[in-house]
């Protein structure tokens, strides 16, 4: 890998492939992934750039591994457990282990963010019927979640 890969218009980077968000069937809409750093030179983390088109959303999930997120583009919202937060460029989001989380773009905004993860990490868990019942008991999270 080159020491420098330049940023390109449209939030692409040199020599960096535009990938599907996930290869499994977990529910999501209108979201792409670019793997900016894949544990280079023995670093134990990956840095990904996710971009959600207007109205799209990431999978509602939880897992043991944390996320450290930096918003780069547009506006959106994140659900973390029972809280919903508005997000704009350069806001920072920490997703703690086993916190439910889901990112959404606003209907009129392309929403992009960096997400740092350990290269060795567990698989996401999707909500059970019981988990969904709990999330739906709260009117805020009930109206936010997309499945």
What residues contact 69, with CB distance under 8 A and at least 6 apart? 78, 92, 93, 94, 95, 113, 114, 115, 116
Residue tagged active-site, from 105, 115, 135, 145: 115
Task: Check if 93 is active-site.
Answer: no
- The dihedrals phi and psi of 62, each to the nearest 5 degrees, come to -145, 160
Distance CA(124)–CA(103), nearest Å, equals 15
The catalytic residue positions are 115
């Amino acid at each position: 890998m080159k020491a420098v890969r330049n940023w390109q218009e449209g939030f692409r980077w040199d020599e960096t492939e535009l990938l599907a968000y996930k290869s499994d069937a977990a529910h999501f809409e209108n979201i792409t992934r670019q793997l900016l750093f894949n544990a280079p030179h023995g670093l134990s983390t990956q840095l990904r750039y996710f971009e959600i088109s207007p109205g799209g959303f990431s999978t509602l999930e939880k897992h043991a591994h944390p996320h450290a997120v930096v918003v780069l583009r547009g506006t959106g919202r994140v659900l973390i457990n029972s809280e919903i937060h508005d997000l704009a460029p350069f806001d920072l989001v920490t997703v703690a282990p086993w916190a439910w989380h889901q990112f959404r773009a606003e209907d009129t905004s392309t929403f992009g963010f960096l997400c740092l993860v350990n290269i060795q990490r567990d698989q996401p868990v999707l909500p059970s019927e019981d988990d969904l019942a709990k999330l739906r008991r709260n009117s805020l999270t009930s109206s936010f979640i997309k499945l």
